[in-house]
Amino acid sequence: MVGKELLVPAPTRRGIRDMERPGTAYANDPDLGDDPQPATMADLYKGAKDRGGVHINSGIPNRAFVLVAKALGGNAWEVAGRIWYETMLALKSDSQFIDCARTSIKIAADSRFGPKAKKAVQAAWKEVGVKV
């Protein structure tokens, strides 16, 4: 859960973003409405708001990250976080989710991340509907 302490407590909100379950951080909230974040590509936001959904659609790679972190275990910043960090450094400003997926899979294949990393990253992107 991201931003748990940033919002005034209310029964309709738990935080700003739920990385594990995008779209569930708040519902029927009088100030925020419903959390618009999709969890998979099947629900990708394609409208004009939010510059085409740059923040709205971030639930998809957020969920992929959580799936990788849970699959690999340990502290999220040790392996999954390092893979995601190196991926972000390699992406361009016009990169799409498919670019992020391909780059993270390539980085995860590095022996520094162990034998399970590449398969965990591939499985996570598949789970969120990014076909690589």
| 4 belongs to a structural domain | no
| 107 belongs to a structural domain | yes
| 120 belongs to a structural domain | yes
| 85 belongs to a structural domain | yes
The parent domain of residue 115 ranges over 52-127
Compute the 3-state secondary structure of the chain and give helix, strand, coil in percent, each to the nearest 5.
Answer: 45, 5, 50
CB 44 within 8 A of CB 60: yes
Our count of domains for the chain comes to 1
| 104 belongs to a structural domain | yes
29-45 per-position pLDDT tens digit: 998 999 999 999 999 99
The dihedral through the CA atoms of 64, 70, 75, 79 has a sign that is negative
Q: Is the pLDDT reported for residue 110 higher than 80?
A: yes
What's 83's domain CATH number? 1.10.390.10
Task: Name the pLDDT band for 17 (thresholds 50, 70, 90).
Answer: very high
57-98 per-position pLDDT tens digit: 999 999 999 999 999 999 999 999 999 999 999 999 999 999
| 118 belongs to a structural domain | yes
Please give the Cα distance from 5 to 8 (Å, whole number). 8
